[in-house]
Amino acid sequence: MKVKILTNSLYRHQPSYVAMSDLMKDNYCRRFGMEYVRTSENPHPNSHPAWSKLPLMLSEIGECDWLVWMDCDAIPIPGTKKESFRIAWKF
């Protein structure tokens, strides 16, 4: 099963906590065999940055079985495995 964690950072000057969160997400994905995709694109520069999520997710969703969006300042919980994502989304 191919799982991706996707995040987007639109800060002009990235705060240190975002850099730390980025490193932790990357390490988490490497540990559990997931792909980590981080962008700094804003497909709709004249709109609120929250509107950038949907086009970015749509561009990545066809290439994986599961796509997880994490805000740029979110940190994965240590010890949480990708299998736990299925608990929240029973299909």
Q: How far is CA 34 from CA 8, 45, 46, in A?
A: 17, 29, 32
CATH superfamily of 3-88: Spore Coat Polysaccharide Biosynthesis Protein SpsA; Chain A (3.90.550.10)
Going by their DSSP bridges, the two strands 66-69 and 3-8 should be labelled as: parallel
List, for residues 3-60, the tens digit of each pLDDT value: 899 998 887 777 888 888 889 999 989 988 999 999 888 888 888 878 888 889 999 9
Of the ranges 42-51, 59-68, 78-87, the best mean pLDDT one: 59-68
Q: Where are the domains of the chain?
A: 3-88
* Edge-to-edge strands, sheet with 35-39: 35-39, 3-8, 66-69
Q: What's the pTM value of the predicted model, to 2 decimals? A: 0.76
Of 14, 7, 59, 72, residue with least CA distance to 34: 7
pLDDT of residue 91: 41
